[in-house]
Amino acid sequence: MSGLNLAQQEAVNYLHGPCLVLAGAGSGKTRVITHKIARLIQAGLSAKRIAAITFTNKAASEMRERAKGLIGREAKDVVVCTFHALGVRMLRQDGATLGLKPQFSILDSDDVTSIIKDAGGTTDAATARQWQWAISLWKNMGLNAAQAEAQAKDDNERVTARIMARYEERLAAFQSVDFDDLIGLPLRLLRDHPQVRARWQQDLGHVLVDEYQDTNATQYELLKLLVGERGRFTAVGDDDQSIYGWRGATLDNLRKLPVDYPQLKVIKLEQNYRSTSAILRAANNVIQPNPKLFPKTLFSELGEGEPVRVVDCDNEEHEAERAVARIQSIRANGAHKEWKDFALLYRANHQARIFEQALRKAQIPYKVSGGQSFFDRAEIRDLCAWLRLWVNNDDDPAFVRSVTTPKRGIGHQTLASLGTFASQYKLSLFEALFSSSLGSVLNARAVGSLHEFGRYVNDLAWRAGRTLGAEDARAFLSEWLRDIGYEQHLYDNEESEKLAASRWNNVLEFCDWMAQRCGGQIDDAAGVSVASEKKSLLEVAQTIALLSTISEREQDQNVVTLSTLHASKGLEWPHVVLVGCNEGLLPFKLDDDDGKAGAANESILQRLQEERRLMYVGITRAQRSLAVSWVKRRKKGREVVAGVPSRFIAEMALDKATIKEDPREKLKALRAEFAARKALGAAGPG
């Protein structure tokens, strides 16, 4: 119980019923979860029967580390993962009940776009992505295609709902699921199959959920079914930090909790252990105009600290220079000498580039988080398509990508005929290729090349299942890449050699990382288990689709963090610079609604409130010092426009006299201090 205040202890000791910890930023909510895992084990619950759900894979591996620090080796049996990873675990175990093979594939967003293009009969990616977005939101609301059609408000929505129906048929045929299904299908599994539900409820002794305010409707339903009426769960969250409304997260989940669980124990934490009073005051002021779901007060005992700085800059380059200069000067003068003590936070991914350049110029090491992940790169996705095909032959999108990357003389025509044939006989492309009647639609040469490809994939999959440990995996992967001529493929297709070389480097890094996993050196970021024994290459391939970052390798790096505000949630740094605090960026431009007066105003207001919460999240990441910067002239497309400081700067209500980094003020202050010292010195030593 050491290192916990009374309210935290109360939350940690409340073991046998539903518990909600509702508190502002930095009040030790996440700490409650980690300590409660230890407490539950101490109280006799077996580690296997505890599930702790985090918002990102990275947060999961951090929590696992912390838990290990508290309770030692036993921590490795606790299921610490995201909702999505838990969904994978449930489907691998019980998906057969829903007609899903244990080796089903997980589609990424690009795969989904191309299936939706096909289902909707369009070649236009933008249209397809709009449908994709709408379908995803429906799925997150727990609606199937028929229900979506029934509640459609206009023709547009009705059309989308019908496309959704065709999309769902295709997913079933491909033995594939998308990311939303990783929640939706487990939910259906538990809802419709009482015996499966009973088993899961029996198996799980306690479920803990971090960042509860950003769960969506289906996640809440899933949680309810997992914990049953006993409701042995602990949710921690902060309504003021709900920043994923645009993705379907809903604060209704917080509102419903006391209604659905009348015996709910609600605990509030009021002490902030992260930030100085100056920073906390700015945060409290900013969030103040938002409507309050649960009123909260936060105080800090860390002292007033440095005032929050507002830095006005001429333009973006200047802003980057000043941010870098700030880091250098704090590092030169203060107690924090490590690069990892600093973070630059911004609203949108594209803002990172200019800061990257400035940091590079100053030779400061950094990492970008929340940007394009390693696994989104085309070359990595190529390789992942092959891996997916090994794991699940019926994964048609993976089939198409592998058979054409690199090109192996199987053309469009051949694939189109194969596709028609497959859908006629309700086969996957891979099954169709081995069908004895394929000769009726394709000539012998085409059939021959397809067979060759099919046999090659089977052979690879068979051998991958028998390749154990890092050394063998490394050898296997490099032989395979040589066989398919992947390096050459990169050099043939990239505009510059430099680009090809950098892609090839990523490929090597990826192979190395796979190999390490086979050797059991890295634990499973899908959170399914902490590996210590060797794994087969095929087993490792199975978890691939879920990994969005290889962040666990980056964790201990001593580098400055560049991050979007969204990706900074839950984290903390001694020194933070919040850049780009301009109207139009933060808050993000609010006026792009198509002018539908009443409804639009409502939604603009809601978006503004979510932007304000984002600002609150940003401010509360800082422990010791915070600067917010804005630019007087900013680039907008090709134009340069006048920059307006974010309204949130005014809302922070900083003391006007001290906030501006005005060199003259500083000089005055220094002079005064000098004079005072001199006076003291004259009076004698002291």
Binding residues for ATP: 23-30, 274
Closest contact distance (angstroms) between CB of 273 and ligand ATP is 3
Catalytic residue among 111, 149, 180, 211: 211
Q: Is the CB of residue 175 less than 8 Å from the CB of residue 430?
A: no
Give the residue among 107, 207, 212, 216 at the shortest CA–CA distance from 167: 107
Please tell me whether residue 69 binds ligand ATP under the rule CB under 6 A: no
Q: Which is nearer to ligand ATP, 2 or 440 (CB)?
A: 2
Q: Is 211 a catalytic residue?
A: yes
Q: Which is nearer to ligand ATP, 274 or 575 (CB)?
A: 274
Question: Using CB under 5 A, which of the segments 24-32, 188-196, 280-288, 593-601 binds Mg ion?
Answer: 24-32
Closest contact distance (angstroms) between CB of 27 and ligand ATP is 4
- Cβ-Cβ contacts under 8 Å for 389 (sequence gap 6 or more): 395, 398, 399, 402, 430, 457, 461
Please tell me whether residue 31 binds ligand ATP under the rule CB under 6 A: yes
Give the contact letters, 611-650, x = binds to ligand ATP (CB under 6 A), - = no: ---------x------------------------------
Question: Using CB under 6 A, which of the segments 25-33, 294-302, 601-609, 628-636 binds ligand ATP?
Answer: 25-33
- Report the DSSP pairing between strands 309-313 and 342-346: unpaired
Q: Is 401 a catalytic residue?
A: no
User: Which pair of tokens denotes residue 578?
Assistant: 């919040």
Please tell me whether residue 30 binds Mg ion under the rule CB under 5 A: yes
Please tell me whether residue 238 binds ligand ATP under the rule CB under 6 A: yes
Q: Is 30 a catalytic residue?
A: yes
Please tell me whether residue 120 binds ligand ATP under the rule CB under 6 A: no
Give the residue among 186, 244, 226, 172 at the shortest CA–CA distance from 52: 226
CA–CA distances in Å: residue 134 to residues 130, 241, 345: 6, 24, 29
Give the contact letters, 268-307, x = binds to ligand ATP (CB under 6 A), - = no: -----xx---------------------------------
Closest contact distance (angstroms) between CB of 238 and ligand ATP is 5
Please tell me whether residue 8 binds ligand ATP under the rule CB under 6 A: yes
Please tell me whether residue 216 binds ligand ATP under the rule CB under 6 A: no
- Cβ-Cβ contacts under 8 Å for 153 (sequence gap 6 or more): none
Question: Dihedral (C-alpha) 72, 75, 80, 86: value to the nearest 10 degrees?
Answer: 160
Q: Which is nearer to Mg ion, 31 or 139 (CB)?
A: 31
Three-state DSSP class for 18?
coil
Place of tokens 């033995």: 175
Q: How far apart are CA 454 and CA 457, in angstroms?
A: 5
Q: Is the CB of residue 83 less than 8 Å from the CB of residue 207?
A: no
Catalytic residue among 210, 239, 312, 552: 210
535-574 positions binding ligand ATP, by CB under 6 A: 570, 572
User: Which pair of tokens denotes residue 305?
Assistant: 């600290």
Helices marked H in 95-192 — which ranges? Answer: 109-120, 125-140, 145-150, 155-173, 181-192
Q: How far apart are CA 68 and CA 8, in angstroms?
A: 20
Q: Which is nearer to ligand ATP, 236 or 257 (CB)?
A: 236
Q: Is 210 a catalytic residue?
A: yes
Please tell me whether residue 5 binds ligand ATP under the rule CB under 6 A: yes
Amino acid 632 reads: K
- The greatest distance separating any two alpha carbons of the chain, rounded to the nearest whole angstrom, comes to 106
Q: How far apart are CA 499 and CA 513, in angstroms?
A: 21
Give the residue among 585, 591, 570, 571 at the shortest CA–CA distance from 629: 585
418-437 positions binding ligand ATP, by CB under 6 A: none
Question: Using CB under 6 A, which of the segments 22-30, 70-78, 298-306, 608-616 binds ligand ATP?
Answer: 22-30
Closest contact distance (angstroms) between CB of 181 and ligand ATP is 28
Among 237, 519, 570, 618, binds Mg ion (CB under 5 A): 570
Question: Using CB under 6 A, which of the segments 28-36, 59-67, 138-146, 486-494 binds ligand ATP?
Answer: 28-36
Note the Cα 307 to chain centre separation in Å.
Answer: 32
CA–CA distances in Å: residue 600 to residues 114, 243, 576, 609, 612: 31, 19, 34, 14, 18
Q: Is the CB of residue 269 less than 8 Å from the CB of residue 28?
A: yes
Q: Which is nearer to ligand ATP, 25 or 327 (CB)?
A: 25
Catalytic residue among 31, 326, 621, 624: 621
Please tell me whether residue 30 binds ligand ATP under the rule CB under 6 A: yes
Note the Cα 243 to chain centre separation in Å.
Answer: 13
31 binds, among ligand ATP, Mg ion, none (CB under 5 to 8 A by kind): ligand ATP
186 binds, among Mg ion, ligand ATP, none (CB under 5 to 8 A by kind): none
Give the residue among 638, 635, 645, 555 at the shortest CA–CA distance from 353: 635
DSSP labels, 21-55: EEE-TTSSHHHHHHHHHHHHHHTT--GGGEEEEES
532 binds, among ligand ATP, Mg ion, none (CB under 5 to 8 A by kind): none
List active site positions. Answer: 29-30, 210-211, 241, 621
Contact positions toward ligand ATP, by CB under 6 A? 3-5, 8, 25-31, 238, 241, 273-274, 570, 572, 620
Contact positions toward Mg ion, by CB under 5 A? 29-30, 570
